[in-house]
C-alpha cells in the first residue's frame, strides 16, 4: 500500500516521543526514515521502525542520553553518541562540520558509542545543500563474509559521497557489500526470492531464499561463529571477479569508524558492547576554484555519460538520478509500505494508542 509522507512523519514522531525520545529528536528520526522511503530506499525507511523499538526495549538504544563532545578543533570533532541513535549524533556533527568547512575548507568527525544512523546519503546531502562535498560512513553488525571466508566478520559499512551538480546533486550512497541487510529483510518480509548473488551459506554456496538468508544474517549478527555465511562483498562470490576490492573498501570503512573511534569493529558489535561508529567529512570545493564553474563542469560530465551509446530499452543513470526521480513521484503518490511492515505498524499503533496512517488510493 501507499501512505502520504506527511502522515508517515506524524505517525513516526508520535511513536518516538512515546518511546522516550525528545520532540526534536523524534522529528529528526522520523524525517530520516521518511526521506529514505521517499527516495525508494525502503530498506532504511519505516520498515526499520519495529527493529528500532526492539533495540529501545532491550536497552541497546538509550533515548534519554545526550551526545557528548569529547574533543574539538577548528577542523575536527570527536563525539560520543552515548548509546543514543546515530542520527542524533550525526545531525549535531554535520551541522558543526558544515560551519567548520565554510571557515577552514575541510572538517571531519568521528562518532563513537553510536547506533544505526539511517541512510549515509542523508548526512552527505546535508553538506551538498550548502554547496559542499559531503562524505559519510558507518560500520554495522557483522554481516559480510570477506574474500574466501565462510563466516561473517565485516559490516555492510555504508559509504556516501555528494558533489554539487545540476539538475540535482551527485549522490552516491551504498553499502560496501553487494547489498545492505535491509534489502534482504524487505524480500523476506514479502516472500520474494533474492534476484542476484547477494548471500552465501556456511559452505559459501549462493543462497536464493530470502528467509534462509535472513536467518543466516540474524545468526551472523547476534551469534557469530555458530552457523557461518553472510552477505558477499562487492565483486560477488568469486575472487576472480575482484571481490577483494569490495573487501578492501569495507576495511577502509572499518579503519575510519571502529578503529579511529577506539570502539568495536563490526565483528565485535554482537559479542560484547554494541557500539557502532561513524566517520563524517565535509570539503569546500570552492577552495579549489569557482564553485559555479566546478558545478557546471561536473554537471556537463554527467550529461555526457547519460548520453553515451547504450543498450536498447535501458538508460544510463548517474548516482542520485533514481532517488531524486522517486522522491518527486512518491511525494505526489505516497510512499510504499509492504504488507508485513503495515501489520507491524498496526501492532505498534495499538500498543501505543496511536492512529496508523491510512492507505491512499492507487495512482
Which residue, among 279, 232, 42, has the nearest Cα to 138 in the 3D structure? 279
- Residue closest to 35 by CA, chosen among 8, 57, 17: 8
Q: Is residue 196, in this structure, part of any structural domain at all?
A: yes
Residues 265, 64: Cα–Cα separation, whole Å:
25
Quick one: pLDDT band at residue 181, thresholds 50, 70, 90?
A: confident
Q: Which among 235, 264, 287 is the end of a domain?
A: 287
The answer to whether residue 15 scores a pLDDT higher than 80 is: yes
Q: What is the mean pLDDT of residues 306-316?
A: 97
CA angle 26, 110, 281 (to 5 degrees): 90
Cβ 283 vs Cβ 133: under 8 Å: yes
**Residue 35: CA count within 13 A, CB half-sphere:** 16
| Burial (0-12, 13-18, 19+ Cβ within 10 Å), 54 | exposed
Which pLDDT does position 307 carry in this prediction?
A: 97
Whether 150 and 276 share a structural domain: yes
Secondary structure class of 145 (helix, strand, coil): strand
Give me the pLDDT at residue 225, please. Answer: 56
96 and 179 belong to one structural domain: yes
Which domain, by its residues, includes 183? Answer: 73-287
More confident residue, 304 or 272: 304
Largest CA distance in the chain: 56
| Confidence at residue 221, expressed as pLDDT on a 0 to 100 scale | 67
Q: Angle of helix 181-189 relative to helix 339-352, nearest 10 degrees?
A: 90
Confidence of residue 363 (pLDDT cuts 50, 70, 90): very low
Looking at residue 180, its pLDDT comes to 83
Considering the domain architecture, whether residues 280 and 327 belong to the same structural domain is answered as no
CB 110 within 8 A of CB 278: yes
Residue 179 lies in a domain: yes
339 and 238 housed in the same domain: no
Q: Report the domain count for the chain.
A: 2
In a domain, 167, yes or no: yes
Tell me the whole-structure pTM to 2 decimals.
Answer: 0.93
Residue closest to 121 by CA, chosen among 91, 96, 167, 158: 158
Assigned domain for 255 exists:
yes
Q: Is the peptide bond before 167 cis (omega within 30 degrees of 0)?
A: yes
Q: Is the model more confident about 362 or about 20?
A: 20
CA distance 46 to 9: 10
Arithmetic mean of pLDDT over the chain: 94
- Give 191 or 76, the one with higher predicted confidence: 76
226-278: pLDDT as tens digits: 668 999 999 989 999 999 999 999 999 999 999 999 999 999 998 777 899 99
Please state whether beta strands 106-114 and 276-283 pair in parallel, antiparallel, or not at all (unpaired). antiparallel
**149 and 91 share one domain:** yes
pLDDT, tens digit (0-9, with 9 covering 90-100), for 16-70: 999 999 999 999 999 999 999 999 999 899 999 999 999 999 999 999 999 999 9
Please report, for the domain that includes residue 4, its CATH number.
1.10.1530.10
**Domain shared by 217 and 80, yes or no:** yes
Residue 223 in this model has a pLDDT that exceeds 80: no
HSE-up (13 A, CA, CB side) for residue 103: 9
pLDDT at 88: 98
- DSSP state at residue 177: B
Could you give the C-alpha distances from 106 to 94, 203, 214, 282, in angstroms and in order? 12, 45, 40, 6
Does 300 reside within a domain? Answer: no
Q: Is 137 found in the same domain as 49?
A: no
Q: Look at residue 13 in the predicted model and tell me its pLDDT.
A: 98
The torsion defined by the Cα of 159, 166, 283 and 276, in degrees rounded to 10, comes to -20
Which is nearest to 52 in space by CA: 37, 67, 30?
30
pLDDT in tens, 126-169: 999 999 999 999 999 999 999 999 999 999 999 999 999 999 99
Does residue 185 contact residue 213 with C-beta atoms inside 8 Å? no
Amino acid at each position: 500500500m501507499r501512505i502520504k509522507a506527511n502522515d508517515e512523519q506524524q505517525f513516526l514522531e508520535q511513536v518516538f516521543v512515546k518511546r522516550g525520545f525528545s520532540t526534536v529528536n523524534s522529528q529528526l528520526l522520523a524525517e530520516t526514515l521518511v526521506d529514505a522511503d521517499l527516495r525508494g530506499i525502503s530498506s532504511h525507511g519505516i520498515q526499520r521502525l519495529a527493529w528500532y523499538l526492539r533495540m529501545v526495549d532491550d536497552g541497546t538504544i538509550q533515548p534519554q542520553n545526550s551526545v557528548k563532545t569529547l574533543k574539538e578543533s577548528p577542523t575536527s570533532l570527536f563525539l560520543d553518541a552515548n548509546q543514543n541513535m546515530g542520527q542524533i549524533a550525526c545531525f549535531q556533527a554535520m551541522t558543526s562540520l558544515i560551519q567548520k568547512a565554510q571557515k577552514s575548507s575541510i572538517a571531519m568527525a568521528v562518532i563513537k558509542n553510536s547506533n544505526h544512523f539511517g541512510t549515509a546519503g542523508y548526512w552527505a546531502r546535508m553538506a551538498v545543500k550548502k554547496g559542499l562535498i559531503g562524505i559519510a560512513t558507518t560500520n554495522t553488525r557483522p554481516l559480510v563474509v570477506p574474500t574466501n571466508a565462510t563466516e561473517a566478520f565485516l559490516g555492510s559499512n555504508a559509504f556516501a559521497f555528494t558533489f554539487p551538480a545540476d539538475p540535482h546533486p551527485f549522490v552516491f550512497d551504498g553499502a560496501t557489500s553487494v547489498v545492505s541487510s535491509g534489502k534482504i529483510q524487505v524480500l523476506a518480509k514479502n516472500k520474494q526470492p533474492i534476484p542476484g548473488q547477494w548471500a552465501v551459506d556456511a559452505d559459501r554456496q549462493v543462497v536464493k531464499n530470502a528467509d534462509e538468508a535472513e536467518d543466516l544474517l540474524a545468526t551472523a549478527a547476534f551469534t557469530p561463529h555458530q552457523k557461518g555465511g553472510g552477505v558477499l562483498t562487492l565483486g560477488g562470490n568469486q575472487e576472480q571477479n575482484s571481490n577483494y576490492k569490495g573487501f578492501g573498501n569495507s576495511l577502509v570503512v572499518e579503519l575510519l569508524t571502529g578503529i579511529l573511534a577506539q570502539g568495536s569493529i563490526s565483528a565485535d558489535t554482537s559479542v560484547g558492547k554494541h557500539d557502532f561508529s561513524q566517520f563524517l567529512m565535509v570539503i569546500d570545493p570552492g577552495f579549489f576554484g569557482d564553485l559555479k564553474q566546478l558545478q557546471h563542469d561536473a554537471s556537463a560530465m554527467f550529461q555526457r555519460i547519460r548520453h553515451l551509446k547504450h543498450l536498447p530499452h535501458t538508460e544510463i543513470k548517474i548516482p542520485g538520478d533514481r532517488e531524486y526521480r522517486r522522491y518527486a513521484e512518491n511525494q505526489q503518490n505516497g510512499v510504499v509500505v509492504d504488507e508485513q511492515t503495515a501489520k507491524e505498524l498496526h501492532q505498534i499503533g495499538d500498543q501505543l494508542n496511536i492512529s496508523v496512517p491510512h492507505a491512499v488510493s492507487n495512482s
